[in-house]
């Protein structure tokens, strides 16, 4: 990996699904045996992302908090999620990211402030049936710095969709987390470098 320089006036910072159910040791992922929180804890994902949020705001880069939320009856999850999608079944049966619950809220270290941009999604891809693209176009942002979880699911889906929409995508490897090193490394090494850029938060140059 090498340094990547960005223009703050053309850039937005996306945080993907950094919610209690995914990243807290008492969240629903942990209760289901999914160790994303543990990986994130060991990698310093939340701490690194907090620093990145502060840097972004100091440089006038808008921060967009993307969160996955479902209605209490999960009617907005869709039929396909119940038939073939293992993740979909896990989310519903475990009542993960349920609207109005603590688990659906962002972790304390990354809670959005009044006036911050929040985008709610119902699928892995942050662009699917949301106003994210409209918001980015309105802000005149063409470069996206992407942090979040889970790397090989929602982060990857969002990166692919961003590139299809002609945005430049930069994934911060130290501000993302997956369930294991293998799941984290594959998109970082085999996918993201082919369609965007992968750097650490320390390798990102703002100027």
Residue 205 backbone zone (phi > 0: left; psi -120 to 50: alpha; other: beta): beta
Q: What is the DSSP string of 187-199?
A: IIIIIHHHHSEEE
Q: Stretch 142-151: mean pLDDT, rounded?
A: 98
Using the Cα atoms of residue 53, residue 7, residue 132 and residue 164 in order, give the sign of their dihedral: negative
pTM for the whole structure: 0.94
Residue whose token pair is 């807290």? 24
Q: What is the pLDDT of residues 148-158, one digit of tens each?
A: 999 999 999 99
pLDDT of res. 94: 80
Radius of gyration of the chain (CA): 16
Q: Which residues pair with 74 in a beta bridge?
A: none
User: pLDDT for 48-66, tens place per residue?
Assistant: 999 999 999 999 999 999 9
Owning domain of residue 98: 4-206
**Which of 205, 206, 201, 204 lies closest to 46, judged by CA?**
201
Strand partners, 206: 6
Q: What is the mean pLDDT of residues 182-195?
A: 97
11-16/4-6 β-pairing:
unpaired
The set of residues, in sequence order, having a beta carbon less than 8 Å from that of 79 and lying 6+ positions away, is: none
The full DSSP string for the chain is ---EEE-GGGEEEEEE--BHHHHSTTSHHHHTT-THHHHHHHHTHHHHHHHHHHHHHHTT--EEEEEE-B-TT-GGG-HHHHHT-HHHHHHHHTTTTBTTSGGGSBPGGGPPPTT-EEEEESSSSTTTTSSHHHHHHHTT--EEEEEEE-IIIIIHHHHHHHHHTT-EEEEEEEEEE-SSHHHHHHIIIIIHHHHSEEE-GGGEEE-
Q: Which two tokens stand for residue 77?
A: 């999850």
- Residue 146 or 75, more confident: 146
Q: How many domains does the chain have?
A: 1
Q: Token match 């990166």: residue? A: 159
- Measured CA to CA, the distance from residue 147 to residue 152 in angstroms comes to 12
Q: Judge whether residue 133 has pLDDT over 80.
A: yes
CATH of the domain at 170: 3.40.50.850
Model confidence pLDDT, tens digit, residues 95-116? 899 999 999 999 999 999 988 9
């Amino acid at each position: 990996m090498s340094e990547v320089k960005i223009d703050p006036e053309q850039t937005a910072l996306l945080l993907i699904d950094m919610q209690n159910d995914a990243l807290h040791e008492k969240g629903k992922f942990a209760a289901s045996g999914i160790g994303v929180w543990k990986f994130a804890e060991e990698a310093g994902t939340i701490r690194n992302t907090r620093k990145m949020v502060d840097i972004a705001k100091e440089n006038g880069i808008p921060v967009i908090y993307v969160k996955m939320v479902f209605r209490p009856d999960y009617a907005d999850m869709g039929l396909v999620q119940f038939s073939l999608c293992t993740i979909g079944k896990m989310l519903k049966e475990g009542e993960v990211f349920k609207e109005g619950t603590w688990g659906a809220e962002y972790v304390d270290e990354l809670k959005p402030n009044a006036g911050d941009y929040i985008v709610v999604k119902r699928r892995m891809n942050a662009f699917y049936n949301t106003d994210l693209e409209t918001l980015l176009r309105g802000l005149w942002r063409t470069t996206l710095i992407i942090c979040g979880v889970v790397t090989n699911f929602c982060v990857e889906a969002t990166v692919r969709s961003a590139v299809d929409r002609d945005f430049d995508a930069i994934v911060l490897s130290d501000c993302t987390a997956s369930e294991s090193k293998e799941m984290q490394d594959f998109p970082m090494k085999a996918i993201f470098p082919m369609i965007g850029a992968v750097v650490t938060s320390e390798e990102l140059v703002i100027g």
